Each structure stands twice: as C-alpha cells, then as structure tokens.
Structure 1
Amino acid sequence: MTAPAGTPPLAAIRRSSEDVAGRKNLQLLIQLRWIAMGGQLATILLVHFGFGITLPLGQMLVVLFGLLLLNAVSLLRLKLPKSIGNTELFLSLLIDVATLTILLYLSGGATNPFVFLYLLQVILGAVLLKVWSTWVILITTTLCFAWLAWSGKPLPLPLDHSKGLFSLYIEGMIICFVLNGVLLVIFINRITRNRRQRDEHLAELRQRAAEEEHIVRMGLLASGAAHELGTPLATLSVILGDWRHMEPFKSDPDMAQEIGEMQTQVLRCKSIVSGILLSAGEARGESSEETTAREFLDDLVSEWRETRPVKDFIYRNDFGQDLSIVSDSALKQSIHNVLDNALEASPQWLRLDVHRDDDNLLISVTDRGPGFPSAMLESLGRPYQSSKGRPGSGLGLFLVMNVLRTLGGNLRARNLVQGGAVVMLSLPLSAVTLEEE
C-alpha cells in the first residue's frame, strides 16, 4: 500500500509547518506592537502632563500612528496565502527598532531610561530569526544607541539619583525592567510553544513517512510472495482433482472427504493470494465492484465466519438507510484483521457492531480477552507493538491504522471495565461512496 494520490511530500509539509510557525510569530509581533503602542502613549501623556516635562507630542504621535499603520498592514499580510519567512520577520523587527529610536530621540536620547527596550528587540531577534539576522539586529541597535548618545538631547530631569526609589530616573528604569521582563516571559513562552508544536508535527510526519515506507516494502514482499505461491497452488489443485477421481480414493469415503476439505483449503489460499495481488494494485481500480454498505459488511462478515472457528459471534448492523459504495478490498482485509486479532484474544465470544454517525461509518469489535497493555494503548498502530510475544507480530493493527488513515479515517481502542477490549474503526463514507457519473 502506498499513500494516496495527491499526498504532499514530506518537504512540502515541512515548509507548510514552518509557514504556520511564521504566521504565529508574526501574530505575536503584532500583539507586542499593540502593547508597546499603548504603553508608549500612556508614558508620553504621563510624562508630558503628569510630570510637566515638555515633549514634542505632535511628532511622537505621528510615529505612533505609523506603528498603527504598520500593524494594519501586517494584519492584512496574514490573510495572504504566501508563506511568511525570516526576511519578513527581520524587516518587521527592524521597523520596530527604527520607531523606538525615533521615539527615544524625541524624548531624551540615551538618557531616557526606556533605552534598554533595545534588549527586547535583540532577544526577540535571537529567538525568531536566523543567526545572521540576529547579528544585524544587534549591530543596528548598538549603532542606534551610540547615535542617541551622540546626537540626542537629554530631558530636563533633576539629578536625583541619590533619592533611590524616589528618583524619576530610577523609577523609569524599574518600569523599563519590569516591562522588559513581563513581555519576554509572555512572548518567549509563546514562541517556544509554537516551535515545540512545529517540531512535534514534523516528528509525527517523519514517523508517518517511515511507516509508509515500511508498508511499501511489506507490500512488495507480499506481492512477490503471492506471485510465487500461484504456481504451487495451481499444481496442488490439479493433483487433488486427479486424486479425487482415482479409484483408491474414490472408493474410500473418508479419504474422499479429506481430499474435498484439502481442495477447499487450497481454494481459500488461492482466494487470499488473489486478494493480495488485488490490494497491491489500485484498491479502487477496475477490479472493484459496486455494492451497498449493508451488503459489503454482511458479505465480509459471512465470509469471515465461514473460515474462522468462532463459537459465539454477535453481529449487529445498525447502519440505517443503505448507501451505494465501492467494495474496497483493503478495507475488507482491515476489518478481517481486527476480527482475527479479537478472535485470537477471545476465541469463545466476539461481537461486531456497525453504526452510522452522519457521514461516518463506525465499526466496533468487542472481545472478552485480557485487553491491551497500557503501553500498547499509548502507541496503538505502531509496528511490532503486540501482546502476543512472537517475533514479527504486531503488524495487524499497524496495517489497519494506515489503511484507515489513507482513507481519512482513524482507529481507537480501549479496555473495558468488566474485562476485554473494544476496537473502534471510524471511516468517512465519502472515501468509499460510489461516485455518480
């Protein structure tokens, strides 16, 4: 089995994941800019009207209006489908540095205690940007700091450093420190969470790619084995047919019955081989047949019961209004695999329930076996995760999981309080619904 047509390659999905992280980071910068504008406006008004220190209000409000326009443009940019990369984040931070420099120049230059907000820009650059971009941000802020010290005009603040906490300059530095700290804690945590989610998503995609590669190898092996088994099975069928007409076997009822049973098992083996070869090709190809949901499920259950030694089997089909679908051999084999696993765990009793939930097909298989180990439930669907303790076991649910995932469905399992376990298969009906011409 291979991934369905149209499945994007891992590299494309990686780029998509990075674009999602870039958009989230740009959203954080927009939020930070809103907070900065509000804080800067409040500080400017407090200093100008509260402390009686004259500031060029008109020019500073124009700069804040420019930040407002930048945020509006950034919000519009988020709606565009084009990916957001390092360059856009880098330019956005450079604009923030430029506007901060202008505001500081208009309000005391390097003597303004809020000059240490440059550190916030540098730290954000170190977290969000590539290495070269971070160094450019650091060099730029350093040059801006030096320029402010060279050409900035100090505010007419009293030299009252000796007053400690009652000094205006010390109070401004404390406010700047707290503001830097709070913003860094909030936004660095958010940025780190974004990166962690992206890394987890990429790890899941790598695991899925490895599993699909594993499935391809097993599919090739199964297909090759099926081709190789075709000839000996045909030979056995011919020999058994000849034996059945030979006098020594024909006159012995017990021997004739055993030969008939052998022929039945050979036919079953040939049917299994044909199913493997069919599944190795297109599951919805020319060999597929039109059927209905009820007929498909009833037939696969009937076929499974005829060839398995189940003693007490309960089958309940509450699908509701019937629906025309395409008989999918891969799905059929998947349900058989789940039933086989349940039968091995609970040979005395087994139950299969079918329901329809809006546009989804729900199938649950319940047994009275020992249940799943907790470690297996946590890694359900991973290859070679099995409670049977045999080499090579644990592929059944792995293959079922990947078949369902290919069709857009999923598989879940849980242990029952009274003992036993239930495995639940969910599949969108659109994946098997017959397309009308």
Structure 2
Amino acid sequence: MAVVNYQTMTIIQRLFLLRTVAIVIQFLTVLIVYFVMSLQIALLPLMVVIIVESLFHFLSIMVFRRRDAGNAAIVFQLVADVIFLTVLLSLSGGATNAFVSLLLLPIVIAAVSLPAGYLLFISLSAIASYSILLLTLPEHTMHNMDMSNHFIGMWANFLLSVLVVTFVVGAMARVITNRERAIALQREDQLKSEQLLALGVASAQVTHQVATPLANIQLLYEELVEDYPDHEAVLAMAQPLAACTDQLGYFRSLATSIRENKKAQLSVAELLEELVDQMHFHFPEQTLSIIQHEEIHAMIESDAMLLPALLNLIQNAIRANQENKEHEITLTVTQINHELSLQIRDFGLGIEANMNQAQRAVLGDQMVASESGLGMAVFLSNSTFHRLGGKLKLINHNEQGCIALVTLPLLLENTMADS
C-alpha cells in the first residue's frame, strides 16, 4: 500500500484531503446529534446537502487527477466549501450554530496557499456568508431569547478573526514563501558555483597535462625545421602549434584574471570592435553583420570572461549555420533603458527539436544533454553574464534560426565617476 507524504502533496491534494475529513465529520455529527442526542434537526435536507457535497468532491478529484490546479481553481474549490458550509449551518441553527466559526477554515487555507487578492476574495465571501446567516435568523429567536446583542457580538468577533487571519497569517505565509524561494535560489546558485568550480578544476588539470606534451612537440618541431626547413608537412605544423601555444597562454591569463577577480570598464564600441576582430580571426568564412541604429555612448563592466562568453554564443551560431549551409550572423545592438541588448541571430535550424519544453526552459541555467553536447558553452556563458549583472535568453526566430538575447547593465555616469 502506497503511503502519501503530506509534505509532498500539492495544494489541491491537501484541500481534497481536508474536505474528505470534513465530510466524514459532518456525516457523523449529523447522525450523532439526531439519533444519539435526540435533537430535532432537519435530517433529510442535511443529508442531501452532504451527499451533493460528496458528489462535488468526487467529481473535483476526478477532474484534477491528471490536471494541474491553478489559483483560480483553488479559489473555486474554497468558495464551494464556503457555500456548502453556509447551507449546512442555515439548516442547523444558522448564526446560533456553535460550529459557525468553521467558516474561518477556508480563509486559513487561502492565507497559506493563495496570493493576497484571492485571499481577500475568500475572506469577503466568508464574511458575506456569516452576515447572511445572521440576517436570516428568525425574529422569535432574536426576541424571545433576547440574544440579539450576543449574536451581533459573535459576528463582530468573527469579523475580527477574519481580519487577523487575512492580514497577519497571510503576511506571515508570504514571508515564509519568499524566504523559501530565496533559499531555493541560493541553493541553485550554490549548485551552479559547484559545477563551475568542477569545470574549472577539470580545465586546469587538462591544461597542466597538455602543457608538457605541447612543449615536447614544440622542441621536436624546432628540430624538424632545422633538418627539413622546406618540407610541406613541417611547414603545415607551424600554424596549429602556434595557435595551441597562444590558446594555452590565453587560458593561463584568463585563470589569473579570474583568480584575482579583475574587472574593468569597457565601452560598447570597444566591445563590438573586439568581437569583430575575433570573428575575422577565428571564423573568416562567416560574416558578422552588426545592426545598430544609433551609437551607444556608454560603458559596461567587463572581466576576462565576457568576450569568451560572447564568442561561445557566436561559435554556437556558426555551428548552426554550418549545419544549414548558411554563412551570415546578425548582431543587433540596442539600448533599452539602462541595459545593453545584444541579439545574436543565426540562420540554422533553431533550438534542437528533440528538446522538450522543460529542457529548453533550463537551457543556460543547467547543463542539458542534447545531440550536440551538454550545453556546457551556453551554461558557462550564462554564468558569466549573471556574474556581471546580465542575463541570457535563447529563443527560436519566427522565420529561421535561433536568437541568443544577452542583456548587460550599462554603467551610470556617477558609477563611472566613482570608479
């Protein structure tokens, strides 16, 4: 037999569990009051209301068995509970019923489960129900027992309880929810930091292991140049070896900058110029078209990883172009308020069709397995942008290709002056 953990249940499942218990208690209470305590109550109408409530409860369970319940659905269920409870109370004494305070339960559930607007609606519904029960009391009950002041006092006490639950409990629930959300975000950031640290350690190990063999190959190459200076194979080795040596030195300088947490201010024009230079040097077969309607005279905060992060996105765009035999990449540069927007668009086939919606949603925030890899380059780029106060979003273009939307904060004049 499967055991359901209350902590892992959804809001609608908890609501259904509480209503099941409430229906059982209502049924037993009516039977005990009528048959054991021998009090004169409207047995048949009460049983009809409980049966209708049970049918509604069963249909609700069937509807939301395989469907997620939003806030509107939960509000509808709570309003139904208020209505059923109001009808039961009206058939068993109305505002004089000792269980009239049960109208607070839907408010408590809404306080810990719903936003403030929905909570206010449920609170007003419960107040309206209690008021109707009070106003529909028979005149002889109010007159003969001379209890009108007492019933009005009970109503005022209920109103005060509603206000306390709505504002105090609701505020405390929102504080707890915000705190849990902040803790979850902190855990995600810690997990990302651990993943980045693992990647950094692995990269450093690979660099260290590659450095010695590369130095040996360089020595052998120099000997070959002395013995066979005009050989085609020896001449062909020059450029790859130089590129490997340069990349190894560049990685070491990056590691030093990251370790020392060096940051600098870079103008938008300088950033675009470096991107164009790197594009022409590494990918001469591709064309980078920059679309910029007006020049942006502002600075951004940069570190050693900003340019490699943007080049990672450009390299992904080039790979998508090559798969679709295209040779153009567009970079749209705009300023939106105090942010720099960079839209890198390729003309490939778009984000992989085999990725489901959940994988596309976390692409960049996590390493996602795909046919082309684990999304490591996008993950590292997004981490760099996030560290600099920016963000990355990947979307498919309406016509063709994919857009990598990068936003970076622009430095204000007073910030530039202080630094």
Calculate the TM-score normalised by the size of structure 2.
0.56
Give the AA of the match of 2:318. L
Q: C-alpha separation between the residues in 2 aligned to 1:283 and 1:297?
A: 23
| Residues 232/272 of structure 1: CA separation in 2 closer, same or farther (3 Å cut) | farther
C-alpha spacing 1:225/1:389, structure 2 compared with 1 (3 Å): closer
SS state of the match for residue 305, structure 2?
helix
AA of the residue aligned to 2:252: S
Contact 1:414 1:423 in 2 (8 A): yes
Which residue of 1 is the match for residue 314 of structure 2?
339
- Return the offset for 1:350: 2.1
Q: Is the 8 A contact 2:268 2:297 kept in 1?
A: yes
Secondary structure at the residue paired with 1:429? strand
Structure 1 partner of 2:243: 265
Counterpart residue number, 2:335: 356
In 1: Cα distance, 2:300 partner to 2:172 partner: 46
Q: Distance in 2 between matches of 1:388 and 1:431?
A: 42
Say which of 195, 199, 218 aligns to 1:237. 218
* SS of equivalent to 2:340: strand
Q: State the Cα RMSD in Å.
A: 4.5
Alpha-carbon shift at residue 204 of structure 1 (Å): 1.2
| Match in the other structure for 1:379 | 362
Distance 1:270 1:175 in 2: 78
CA distance in 2, matches of 1:204, 1:164: 62
Asked if residue 366 in structure 1 is aligned to residue 342 in structure 2, the reply is no
1:181 Cα deviation (Å)? 6.7
Paired residue total:
289
Q: Structure 1's 421 and 262: CA in aligned 2 closer, same or farther, altered over 3 A?
A: closer
Alpha carbons of structure 1 residues 164 and 182: separation in structure 2 relative to 1, 3 Å = farther
Letter in 2 for 1:381: G
Deviations 1:247-290 (Å, cap 9, x if unpaired)?
x3x233x33541233334333433443344334422426xx7x8
Counterpart of 2:196 in structure 1 is: 215
Instruction: Find 1:172's aligned residue among 117, 140, 152.
Output: 152
Q: Is the contact made by 2:346 and 2:401 (CA closer than 8 Å) also made in structure 1?
A: yes
DSSP-derived class of the 1:402 partner? helix
Three-state SS of the structure 1 residue aligned to 2:260 is: coil
**1:161-219 Cα distance to aligned partner (Å, 9 max, x none):** 58699841563266247526743663445543442232122211111122112212322
Contact 1:363-1:424 within 8 A present in 2 as well: yes
Once residues 198 and 417 of structure 2 are traced to their aligned partners in structure 1, the CA distance between those partners, rounded to angstroms, is 31
Corresponding residue number in structure 2 for 1:412: 393
1:195 aligns with 2:195: no
Structure 1 partner of 2:206: 225
Displacement of 1:330: 0.9
Q: Note if contact 1:411-1:424 (Cα within 8 Å) is conserved in structure 2.
A: yes
Task: Pick which of 395-404 and 224-233 moved more.
Answer: 224-233
1: CA distance, partners of 2:190 / 2:144: 62
Question: What is the distance in 2 between the residues matched to 1:326 and 1:186?
Answer: 45
Contact 1:310–1:343 under 8 Å retained in 2: no
CA distance in 2, matches of 1:174, 1:426: 58
Cα deviation, 1:99-133, whole Å, max 9, x if unaligned, reads: xxxxxxxxxxxxxx9x9999999x999x99xxxxx
Unaligned runs of 5+ in 1: 1-112, 129-159
User: Residue type of the partner of 1:345?
Assistant: A
AA aligned to 1:354 is V
Matched, 1:330 2:305: yes
CA contact (8 A) 2:279 2:288 kept: no
Indicate the SS of the match to 1:346. helix
Kindly indicate whether the alpha-carbon contact (under 8 Å) linking 1:371 and 1:419 is maintained by their aligned counterparts in 2: yes
CA distance in 2, matches of 1:238, 1:326: 41
- Tell me, in whole angstroms, the C-alpha distance in 2 between the residues paired with 1:320 and 1:301: 16
Cα offset, 1:413, TM superposition: 2.2
The 1-side partners of 2:400 and 2:284 are apart by 22
Q: Residues 354 and 310 (structure 1 numbering): CA distance in 2 closer, same or farther, change over 3 Å?
A: farther
Q: Which amino acid aligns with 1:375?
A: A
The within-5 A match list for 1:1-400 is 167-168=147-148, 171-172=151-152, 175-176=155-156, 178-179=158-159, 182-183=162-163, 186-187=166-167, 188-246=169-227, 248=228, 250-252=229-231, 254-284=232-262, 292-308=267-283, 310-316=285-291, 320-323=295-298, 328-347=303-322, 348=326, 349-372=328-351, 373=355, 374-388=357-371, 390=373, 393-400=374-381
CA separation in 2, counterparts of 1:186 and 1:398?
42
SS of the residue aligned with 1:422? Answer: strand
Offset, 1:243 = 2.2
TM-score by length of 1: 0.54
Counterpart amino acid of residue 341 in structure 1: N
User: Is the partner of 1:217 in helix, strand or coil?
Assistant: helix
1:416-435 residue CA offsets vs partner (Å, 9 max, x unmatched): 22132211111123399876
The code of the aligned residue for 1:218 comes to L
CA–CA distance in 2 between the matches of 1:164 and 1:245? 122
Displacement of 1:379 in angstroms is 1.6
- Contact (CA 8 Å) 1:363, 1:425: kept in 2 or not? yes
Residue 335 of structure 1 and its aligned partner are, at CA, apart by 0.6
In the TM superposition, residue 332 of structure 1 has moved relative to its aligned partner by: 0.9
Distance 1:204 1:324 in 2: 29
Q: CA deviation at 1:408?
A: 1.3
2-side partners of 1:179 and 1:119: how far apart?
Answer: 13
CA contact (8 A) 2:368 2:375 kept: yes
Gaps in structure 2 of 5+ consecutive residues: 1-95, 112-139
Q: Relative to 1, partners in 2 of residues 1:202 and 1:345: Cα closer, same or farther, differing over 3 Å?
A: same
Higher relative contact order (CA 8 A, sep 6+): 1
Conserved in 1, the CA contact under 8 Å of 2:289 and 2:330?
yes
